[in-house]
Amino acid sequence: MGSCEFEAGGFRFVIEWTGRGVSRLLFEKESSGTRGAHAELPPFVREAVAAVRAFFDEGRDVSRIRIDLAAMTEFDRRVVALLRRIPRGRATSYRAVAAAAGVPSACRAVGGAIGRNPLPVIFPCHRVVLADGRLGGFSAPGGAEVKKRLLRLEGVGFRRDAVVEPAHMLDSVPVRLGAGKHLARRALCRKAMRGGCA
């Protein structure tokens, strides 16, 4: 296990890893003193840092970063995995993610899973907004302003009232499911459901 700080896209990050892969990628408000020499990092961590920088600089895909999701619940893993299906330059609602997860009435549970996402950017939780296009929350330091900045970097337009332009909103999350997975997801999510969608 280890951690180090790096900068990308004008943001400061702390990256943490296990022997299996990157386990956390956190936005930092200020230096936490965990700076490490990048030459001493495991090769997969150096590759992850380079990929996150390329995400900001060139719009590159970060889905090939070696990750370790062992600390997450199965429900949270399933929810954040759906975030990768939201295309760059688009946004969707918590309601749409809940529907894609097979639990359309579990928006609060889905929102909680998104808020616990330990790998923002890799699982792009900033692309999930309220159903009316308002930003909603964001757990990184700087909150909704950071979310808005990330969306703008990806080409998402906003109206003057900080609401995502309707042309950039997706009504649903593109999902490929095998037979019978919808029912399995419903059973898995029953425990996580705390309330309905507003």
Report yes or no: 51 and 98 within 8 Å, Cβ to Cβ.
no
Report yes or no: 129 and 96 within 8 Å, Cβ to Cβ.
no
Catalytic, 125? Answer yes
User: Which one of the listed residues 107, 125, 189, 197 is annotated catalytic?
Assistant: 125
Report yes or no: 133 and 163 within 8 Å, Cβ to Cβ.
yes
Residue 34 neighbours by CB under 8 Å, 6+ apart: 3, 4, 5, 14
State the Cα torsion 10-42-124-196 to the nearest 10°.
Answer: -130
Q: Which two tokens stand for residue 74?
A: 């199965």
What are the catalytic residues?
125
